Amino acid sequence: MTLEIDRLTITIGGRRVVDDLSLELPAGRRLGLIGESGSGKSLTTLAVLGLLPAGAEATGSIRLDGRELVGLPDRELARLRGRVVGTVFQDPRTSLDPVMTVGRQISEPLRLHEGLSRREARARAVEAAAEVGLPEPEQIVDRWPHQLSGGQRQRVVIATALITRPALLLADEPTTALDVTTQAEVLALFGRLVDERGAALLFVTHDLAVLSRVADDALVLSHGRVVERGPVARLLQAPEHPVTRGLVEATRATTWRAS
Ligand SMILES: Nc1ncnc2c1ncn2[C@@H]1O[C@H](COP(=O)(O)OP(=O)(O)OP(=O)(O)O)[C@@H](O)[C@H]1O
Ligand SMILES: [Mg+2]
């Protein structure tokens, strides 16, 4: 599935928070989105399924395999969400329903879109929970979100996004709350979805070490504008724009201090 964004502009209260952004993400490719805090990364990913906050307005074009999504009724967009488009958004607290067990939550997209029975759905949820490294998957599916740690809740969100094997995965800082080992496992899962199933992955991160593992190409955003784009290896080794250079240097400084 190919995602094409053409001249996307997002305005909030008269302010252009995303300005004339274009990108193409073909099936089987992994595109990173980096940039300082507030540069428009989250709003760009939210715009794809029309999930912008109240008061935000989007113009331009967002197409999935040629089908225009901007202006599509909510009902149609909801049909894509969870089935063809998996989402892991930045704040996991807003992504989980507090009155739904972990297992129900994980398998909800299957029940909605594939009409699985309760038993089948539960079995698939256990499997998915194990895949994202949740402890005691058989038991954890019967627990409630508030009984889980932040990192465990984040893994529930990731399991929910992956369970239908979506053709497009939108992931906004999905592994930030996870320890290094779990992070590596989750990144490997994303990689398999792309390599084995030909999914397209849009991945937002502020962590350039993560970026180099998870993405082929990347866009660098600054104040809502794309200031640089290219293969990740080139961006990291020979950044051209001052903003990209700043991000790379900041990463080096942190690594140096930590070692
Ligand atoms: N609900 C909102 N109401 C008003 N302004 C908003 C809202 N959400 C985002 N913005 C503004 O839009 C701009 C882009 O926000 P966005 O969340 O896309 O940034 P980001 O690149 O994801 O940052 P971070 O790395 O901190 O997650 C910011 O200047 C922010 O203040
Ligand atoms: Mg963000």
Q: Which domains does the chain have, with CATH numbers?
A: 1-73+194-259 (3.40.50.300)
Distance 34 CA to ligand 2 centre (A): 10
Instruction: Identify which ligand lies nearest to the alpha carbon of 39.
Output: 1
pLDDT of residue 93: 56
User: Is-contact 103 126, C-beta < 8 A?
Assistant: yes
Q: Report the predicted TM-score, pTM, of the whole model to 2 decimal places.
A: 0.93
Q: Is the dihedral of CA 40, 54, 10, 73 positive or negative?
A: positive
pLDDT tens string 64-79: 999 999 999 999 999 9
Which residue do the tokens 């892991």 mark? Answer: 88
Task: Indicate whether 92 pLDDT > 80.
Answer: no
Scan for tokens 């073909």, then name that residue: 26
Nearest residue (CA) to ligand 1, atom 1: 53
- The CA-based diameter of the chain, rounded to the nearest angstrom, is 55
**Ligand 1 atom closest to residue 54's alpha carbon, by position in its atom list:** 1
Q: How confident is the model at residue 257 (pLDDT cuts 50, 70, 90)?
A: low
